[in-house]
Amino acid sequence: MDIKVNVREAQGDCYVVDLGGEIDVYTSPKVKDAIGELIDRGVYHLVINLEKVRYIDSTGLGVLIGGLKRVREHGGSVNLVCTNPQIKKIFDITGLVKIFGIFESEDAAMKALV
C-alpha cells in the first residue's frame, strides 16, 4: 500500500500529519483513520503536510474536507502544506483553495494556525 501516514505533536495543542505516496480510493481510509483518531482525541488544530504526496484524487480530497468539517465544529482548523504544482492545481480547480489554508512550508502553515 503506497501510502505513508505519520502523526507527530508540534507546539501547543497542534499536531502535524505527514502524508506520503498516493492517496486514492484504496489508501485514503488509512488517512481518514489517522485524522479521525486525532480528532477523537480532541485535537482540533491540524497541519497536514502533503509535501511527499505524489498523487491525490477525490477520495483523498473528501477525507481532507471531512476532517475540516469535523474540526470546524469545535472551532478548529486545518492548514495544508503543499508544494507539488499538480496537486495545487487540483485544489485550485476544485475551489478547495478557498476553504483550506494552503502553504508552501510547514512553518508557514503552523504560524497561520496559531
Partner 1 sequence: MNQPVQRAEETDVVELRVPCKAEWVALARLSVAAVASRLHFSIDEIEDIKLAVAEACTNAIQHAHGSSYIEIRCEALADGLRINVRDYGRGTRPESIRSRELEDERVGGLGVFLIRSLMDDVSYDVHPEQGTQLVMTKRLPV
**Interface contacts to partner 1, rule CB under 8 A:** 2, 22, 24-26, 55, 57-59, 61-62, 65-66, 69, 86, 90, 93-95, 99
Q: Quick one: which of 6, 65, 55, 50 has its CA closest to 26?
A: 55
Nearer to partner 1 by Cβ, of 97 and 108: the residue is 97
Q: How far apart are alpha carbons 107 and 90 in whole angstroms?
A: 23
Asked if 47 and 110 touch (Cβ cutoff 8 Å), the reply is yes
Between 28 and 49, name the residue whose CB sits nearer to partner 1. Answer: 28
Max CA distance (Å), the chain = 34
- Kindly state the smallest distance separating residue 29's Cβ from partner 1, in Å: 9
Question: Residue 12 or residue 62: which is nearer to partner 1 going by CB?
Answer: 62
